[in-house]
Structure 1
């Protein structure tokens, strides 16, 4: 299976909208996670802040992992 990658101009209008929407959601998640991480003190982060900053950069998985596992919730 040898599929040629399509250029932006070869994509349909719908495909372009989906890509832009996915990029927007991923960007919002990442920026929100980095902002939250920057405001938290080290004691309320589960592990190294540097490690979590790098993990957040991983597509959708990173920010979601940070919000689920990286923050220590106060009770």
Structure 2
């Protein structure tokens, strides 16, 4: 198992960058879901709230498929 101390500065930067993007996507998706009326969401809001928590895939799926246009 690789620990934080074992990583090079470049590896730490990539990890922090990816974590930042993931967190930004999730927060944006949850904020949109919270402010959107249930009638404008494909499926239940509770289901989408859980899906959004799944790495990069969840928020991208919500933005692509979870909102009615």
Kindly report which structure 2 residues correspond to 1:50-65, keeping only aligned pairs within 5 A, or say none. 50-65=46-61
TM-score by length of 2: 0.99
Which residue is 1:27 aligned to? 23
Pick the structure with more helix per residue.
2
Distance, in Å, in 2 between the alignment partners of 1:7 and 1:26 is 20
2:37 aligned with 1:41: yes
Root mean square deviation of aligned Cα: 0.3
Instruction: Mark the runs of 5 or more structure 1 residues left unpaired by the alignment.
Output: none
Could you list the structure 1 runs, at least 4 aligned residues long, displaced by more than 6 angstroms after superposition: none
Q: TM-score, normalised by structure 1?
A: 0.91
> How many residue pairs align between the two structures?
69
